[in-house]
Structure 1
Amino acid sequence: MLQLILNSENFVDKCAILDKGVAFRYADLHSKSAQIASKLLNGEADLQQKRVAFMVSPGFDYVAFQWGIWRAGGVAVPLCITYPLPSLKYVIEDTGAEIVIAGPEYVDILIPLVHANTFKFYTIADFSANELSEFNLPEISTDRNAMILYTSGTTSLPKGVVTSHANLEAQISTLVKAWHWTSADHTVCVLPLHHVHGIINVISCALWAGATVEFLEGFSPEKVFGAFAFGKINVFMAVPTIYFKLITYWDNLPDTEKAEITENLQKFRLMVSGSAALPVSVMEKWQEISGHTLLERYGMTEIGMGISNPYEGERKAGYIGKPLPGVSVRLIDEYGVIEKEEVPGEIQIKGANVFKEYWGKAEATEKAFTEDGWFKTGDVAVVENGYYRILGRDSVDIIKSGGYKISALEIEEVLRKHPQLNDCAVVGIPDDEWGELVVASIVVRNKALDLKQLNEWMRGMIPAYKTPRKYLIVEELPRNAMGKVTKNDVKELFKNI
């Protein structure tokens, strides 16, 4: 039996999931997932790694179906519940899913894809308890495929990232140990469940340790702070955009309510930020509100988590920390492995956490690894006093202008310090003279902001060659489902100015 499922037998009567106020025990999760597995098998002994796509809202059902797919010997393919039909069609067809499962609110969305002899289509109603029975489930070896998640596809069509059960167990067990998860923990999941952040860091780590995962009915700062007010939640993980929304909401509360929230937050054990670069300004403001220094870490679909600020010890603002136990990290530039600090290079990762392959894309898989087996992340970083600091993604965050390699993230940090700016995104756009021109899309508090004065202010803060040559005021920045700014969409905004 898979270790995650096996662990659940140690906590049978404990609350595993609190779904919109309804408590489900580990015994309920164990029983329901076994019943789902039996239904999926439909008389077969083993699904033999059939891909099973499922579009189910976050909550008890989501976890039960994910576990059920694994226990039947299938490969879980979580579908994003906010994707338009063409994106869903792409994932289902690209994986060659033989079974597709829909929650009641998504049946009408997926029905147009259901054709004869394509895949077996189930709704959650097909798995009602009175129709299900358990029988012997297959033994699943950890070298088998477990899950296919899709990359964001910022530079090409999304690729399916295949992880084995061994990969997932390495990712989960490493974080459980590094971040001191125990059965006494209680967390709340406010993240999409087609990414590792929500699936691995929150749900799987909590359930591996025997902790409780709470789900809310929709996201709002009010609901999140309301859940915190009960005093049970002690672990919280979110993306920078969510922290920014919580801060904005808190700023507009009466002083008495602010004080109550702050007193509550100070009791938390751990607060983590990830999936996008955490602005230092957001980190400092959250520290002021909560008394916590957010633990920032670095990961991606292909590796789970690779680098993290320490649970115990200094968490440095603007840094992603140090390699996690069992994860090997190196920096590479055009001259080879970088041995000295303060020399930027591409992050490369090796370890049991690293994914198996890109689904159906042998050439892309081969290109993603070095000859000696290191995964090439495409992210550029530098080590300073033992801590890694991300400079950006080589394709979108490293701007090559006038012979310089410029970090877009560094410029964004400076821009966010301006009192009239709420947010920003810096990109490079093609230019005959400079190669690439540094430009910034900005979200402002005052639309009367004088851009000339902003530029003069920037020139007083950073070298002239790093100062944006153009600014574009927008209502909001384009983002993906995880709240990460999509830089290629930002570049498109500058095509007509």
Structure 2
Amino acid sequence: MQLVHNAIHNVDLTAIVSDGKSYTYQQLLDSSRAFAERLLNGATDLNEARVAFMVAPGFDYVRVQWGIWRAGGIAVPLALSYPLPSLRYVIEDTGAQIVIADKAYVDILAPLAEEKGFRFITPGDETESVIGQSLPELDASRRAMILYTSGTTNLPKGVVTTHANLEAQISTLVNVWQWSSSDHILCVLPLHHVHGIINVICCALWAGATVEFLPNFSAEAVFDTFQRGQVNVFMAVPTIYFKLIAYWESLPIERQQQVTETLFRFRLMVSGSAALPVSVMEKWKTVSGHTLLERYGMTEIGMGISNPYKGERRVGYIGLPLPDVSVRLVDEENAVVEDGQPGEIQIKGDTVFLDYWNRPEATQKAFTDDGWFRTGDIAVVEDGYYRMLGRDSIDIIKSGGYKISALEIEEVLRTHPAISDCSVVGIPNEEWGELVAVAVILSDQTVSADTLPNWLRERMPAYKVPRQYRIVEELPRNAMGKVTKNDLKPLFK
């Protein structure tokens, strides 16, 4: 396992900072080995047994995940925010034989463990009971992890990645984003998604860098951590940047300047997991002096496209294909489209997942006959850079014979001085197929939604102008900050 081999060369460096304590790579190696031995319980290999774990972000999370891998198991991270029915679904769907919960989540999962009869573990101080048994040798082709899709149109599917997939995903980003052992990143992301697990934790630990965990997110706590001067890499979703901007704007000018001076010294700032509004990118540049590096990825592929670390980062674009990742855009007949024409993003390469857990038909549908993964996302290539138009099933609205990008309309709406946020959705309609509808959050309550159609007609073709409008107090979002558009649609019925 390459992560472990790399760590052996960095034993004296700080790997993790959490709960006010610092842990070296040697401590991570020792503790994850001890936990692997506890999982094995005298066996020689877990042989790809699924091990679900519900552990708060921090040192315990990482040592448990590494321990699962080192024991030969498949890691199944559970979302801390999920209700019991959702947790039950993942545990039952994977057929998890072992479930791990730290003290904060024992009461949630213990009754399920008693009902289902799986082995139930609470992490403790395993280092006191290390017996030094040999751990299994892991072939890169072995399954390593199952992460679940968001399930926007069907039940969530388990995405199976091998150790080879993970190593390809991690090594690619370490190289293109120039990670090194001198980096120090703050993790504020949920750890049941690729963004937090791969892009933040695994990339940092692969490179010998330091990962610092924040117990609970708050903009004040993030900036206070930044002000200590150690963090130089940061990755977040657009919603987090939006919250940081709002907090920065509330600060006295002197404090704003102090924060900006600190942020200016950062090496890298990345945004992902949802489309980055141009307005947020531009405001963050004012706050930090940085043009956020926007990239594109999925649970099934890791990262596939990225703006360059060095070079032009185009506002409103997701960038260029990453090294060793093949990308093409195709039409509905699966024919490759010309530059400038919209098409579905399809991906091929070593980073692409193995299959959907126990769903052979879904796996088959996800790939073309010649092995390309169908992402379901629509983009266009302009001067070599990819620009995202949206997800075919959610963000591409088919109205009156047109294919309309909801994301494009949202970008225009956000330039309105009275709109703080918005979301555009397609509503089923017999005459048009779908009607374009918009929910807006107004920062100026004297503005009426009735004024928006004329304002929009001056800025975009008439067929893109929404026909229904709703003013809302907030937009429903999932754990990664994405607007859950299906939850908005009932507002228009």
State the identity %. Answer: 66
Give the equivalent residue in structure 1 for 2:291.
Answer: 293
Deviation at 1:56?
0.2
SS of 2:114 mapped into structure 1: coil
Which one of 213, 234, 237 corresponds to residue 236 of structure 1? Answer: 234
Q: How does 1:204-215 map to 2 (within 5 A)?
A: 204-215=202-213
Partner of residue 112, structure 1 = 111
Q: Is the 8 A contact 1:330 1:337 kept in 2?
A: no
Partner residue in 2 for 1:260: 258
Aligned-partner SS, 1:114: helix
Question: Structure 1: how far apart are the matches of 2:314 and 2:116?
Answer: 55
- Is 2:472 aligned against 1:474? yes
Larger displacement relative to structure 2 (338-347 or 28-37): 338-347
CA distance in 1, matches of 2:235, 2:396: 28
Q: In structure 2, what residue type is equivalent to 1:341?
A: D
Aligned partner of 1:305 in structure 2 is 303
**Corresponding residue number in structure 1 for 2:180:** 182
Determine the structure 2 residue equivalent to 1:249.
Answer: 247
Question: In the alignment, residue 294 of structure 1 is paired with which amino acid?
Answer: L
Give the superposition deviation at 1:463.
Answer: 1.1
The TM-score with structure 2 as length reference comes to 0.99
The letter for the 2-side match of 1:80 is: A
Q: What SS does the corresponding residue of 1:115 show, helix, strand or coil?
A: helix
Tell me the distance in 2 between the aligned counterparts of 1:444 and 1:3. Answer: 50
In structure 1, what is the equivalent of residue 15 of structure 2?
A: 16
Q: What residue is the counterpart of 2:433 in the other structure?
A: 435
Corresponding residue for 1:43? 42
Task: Show the counterpart of 1:3.
Answer: 2
Paired AA for residue 45 in structure 1: T
1:363 aligned residue (340, 355, 361): 361
CA-to-aligned-CA distance 1:161-203 (integer Å, 9 cap, x gap): 0000000000000000000000010000000000000000000
Q: Let me know the Cα RMSD of the aligned residues.
A: 1.0
For 1:97 and 1:132, the matched residues in 2 are separated by 25
Other structure's SS at 1:244 match: helix
- What amino acid is aligned across from residue 441 of structure 2 in structure 1? V
Q: Output one character per residue of 1:380-424: Cα deviation in whole Å (capped at 9) or x when no partner.
A: 000000000010110111101111110000000000001111111
- What's 1:62 paired with? 61
Question: Which region of structure 1 is more displaced relative to structure 2, 440-449 or 413-422?
Answer: 440-449
Does residue 226 in structure 1 map to residue 224 in structure 2?
yes
Where does structure 2 lack aligned partners over 5 or more consecutive residues? none
Alignment-mate amino acid for residue 66 of structure 1: Q
Write out aligned runs for 1:358-397 (5 A).
358-397=356-395
Distance 2:215 2:193 in 1: 19
- Please say if residues 401 and 437 of structure 1, whose CA atoms lie closer than 8 Å, have aligned partners that are also in contact: yes
Give the counterpart letter for 2:470 in structure 1.
Answer: L
- Residue 466 of structure 2 aligns with an amino acid whose one-letter code is P
Match of 1:164 among 153, 162, 165: 162
Query: Residue 492 of structure 1: CA displacement?
Result: 2.2
SS, match of residue 260 in structure 2: helix
Whether the 8 Å CA contact 2:147–2:299 is kept in 1: the answer is yes
Q: Say if 2:38 and 2:126, in contact at 8 Å, map to a contact too.
A: no
Q: 1:335 offset after TM fit, Å?
A: 4.5
Partners of 2:127 and 2:83 in 1: how far apart?
31
Structure 2 residue identity aligned to 1:81: L
Q: What is the alpha-carbon distance in structure 2 between the residues aligned to residue 419 and residue 200 of structure 1?
A: 37
Name the structure 2 match of 1:416: 414
Match 1:152 to one of 134, 144, 150 = 150
2:314 alignment partner in structure 1: 316
Provide the rounded CA distance (Å) in 2 between the counterparts of 1:116 and 1:484: 34
**2-side partners of 1:442 and 1:484: how far apart?**
15
Distance in 1 (alpha carbons) for counterparts of 2:5 and 2:380: 40
Partner of 2:92: 93
Distance between the aligned counterparts of 2:440 and 2:57, measured in 1? 33
Unaligned runs of 5+ in 1: none
- Secondary structure of the residue aligned to 2:51 is strand
Aligned twin of 2:77: 78
Q: Give the distance between the partners of 1:314 and 1:66, measured in 2 at CA.
A: 36
- What is the TM-score normalised by the length of structure 1? 0.98
